[in-house]
Amino acid sequence: PLPAPKSPSQAAQKPVNLPVTVSIKAVGDIIPGTNFPYNKLPEKKELLFESVKPYLKGADILFGNFESTMTDYPYSSKGGGGGMLFAFRTPPSYAKILKEAGFNILNIANNHSYDFNEQGFNDTIKNIESNGMKSVGKKGQIVYKNVKGVNFAFIGFSNYGEVHNSLLELKAGSELVKKAKEKADIVVISVHAGAEGTGALNVRNKTELFYGENRGNMVLFSRTMIDAGADLILGHGPHVTRALELYKGKLIAYSLGNFMGYRTLSTAGELGQSLILDVKMNPKGDFVSGKIIPVKLDGRGLPSVDEDFRSVGLIRSLTKSDFPNTGLKIDDKGLILKK
């Protein structure tokens, strides 16, 4: 007998009005200034994002890692010792500036979200949410957002497993991803991990330590989360950009680097080379194409577009050296395509 006609594919049964692609723009660490231990705030906070604002627009979702706290709480958990005290406190009024720059998802799973104890952490969440944005990274939390009929889920990980989801607990992480995938078409993972600084440009498939702290194995973590159903991995934490990898059709950005560190972060050498990552995916979360919009940070830690395309060259060479067989090609203007 003739084979039965194939049933219409699932794609054909989906409502026809789904977009061909959805897009996310993502940036790394953002510290818009601090007033602790003394005042290092810009005179005009409205101008912080001025030179990059046009480039942050145009995506369905704009993601950033908020590497500070937003609170008025006076007591830091990092002690009052002198020297280089890295505790950051940004006034709550800055949430509005982030919202106006276009951000709608801010990661708080990082090593600064607890700089002002639990109170500071909760204030940060409250100030982000009350300004119409979503914070991502609280332990056990999945944040959902619908864009053009496509359901996104966001989960934030760091190596601080008491308060954030731990990237060291692969089984628990996988379970959370599976749970998110039950409701979401696309699961996006934000992960703060890896050693820091210009010695940490390369990605290695092994555990990274920083000052004796276990900062996880980014390759193992990222691939395990994709195996569990994740669609896009956005890494940050090393303060430098890192390679890109295509794994099972899904994009991994191993580090987005520094995006803004007003008078707080060093911008020497590669620490001052950054990007706005523009990613297009189909409604199932498969990578379609992308773009590296090159950014440079000035001496004050403020971003502008880099017409010398330095971070494009850097990410291209890191991708070639760290993942020579990955299915991506990056051209010298930052276009990312599948091979």
**Residue 189, CA distances (Å) to 33, 176, 298 in order:** 26, 11, 29
Within the chain, where are the H helices? 10-13, 53-56, 94-101, 117-129, 170-183, 218-227, 310-322
Residue ranges per domain, the chain? 17-338
Give the pLDDT of residue 9: 46
Torsion of Cα atoms, 153 then 159 then 162 then 166, to 10°: 40
17-338 CATH fold: Purple Acid Phosphatase; chain A, domain 2 (3.60.21)
Give the pLDDT of residue 78: 85
Query: How many other C-beta atoms are found inside a 10 Å radius of the C-beta of residue 91?
Result: 16
- Secondary structure tally for the chain: helices H, strands E: 7, 19
Give the pLDDT of residue 236: 98
Give the pLDDT of residue 85: 64
Q: What is the pLDDT of residues 189-199, one digit of tens each?
A: 999 999 999 99
Place of tokens 């944005």: 133
Percent of the chain with pLDDT over 70: 93
Give the pLDDT of residue 4: 57
Contact 70, 113 (CB under 8 A): no
Q: Using pLDDT thresholds of 50, 70 and 90, give the confidence band for residue 77.
A: confident
Closest C-alpha to 160, from 148, 168, 149: 168
Question: With 50 as the cut, is the pLDDT of residue 126 above it?
Answer: yes
Question: With 60 as the cut, is the pLDDT of residue 12 above it?
Answer: no
H or E stretch covering 295 = strand 287-297
Q: What is the pLDDT of residues 35-69, one digit of tens each?
A: 998 999 999 999 999 999 999 999 999 999 999 99
Question: With 60 as the cut, is the pLDDT of residue 11 above it?
Answer: no
Average pLDDT of the chain?
A: 95
Q: What is the pLDDT of residues 207-216, one digit of tens each?
A: 999 999 999 9
Give the pLDDT of residue 136: 99
Question: With 50 as the cut, is the pLDDT of residue 10 above it?
Answer: no
Least confident of 83-97, 152-166, 205-219: 83-97
Question: With 70 as the cut, is the pLDDT of residue 82 above it?
Answer: no
Give the pLDDT of residue 218: 98
Helices 170-183 + 218-227 axis angle, to 10: 40
Q: What is the mean pLDDT of residues 82-108?
A: 91
Give the pLDDT of residue 80: 53
Question: With 90 as the cut, is the pLDDT of residue 7 above it?
Answer: no
pTM confidence score: 0.94
Give the pLDDT of residue 2: 59
Question: With 70 as the cut, is the pLDDT of residue 1 above it?
Answer: no
- Where in 108-247 does DSSP place strands (E)? 134-136, 143-147, 150-158, 165-166, 186-192, 209-210, 213-214, 232-236, 244-247
Q: What is the mean pLDDT of residues 222-244?
A: 99
Q: What is the mean pLDDT of residues 91-119?
A: 98
Q: What is the pLDDT of residues 288-334, one digit of tens each?
A: 999 999 999 999 999 999 999 999 999 999 999 999 999 999 999 99
Question: With 90 as the cut, is the pLDDT of residue 252 above it?
Answer: yes
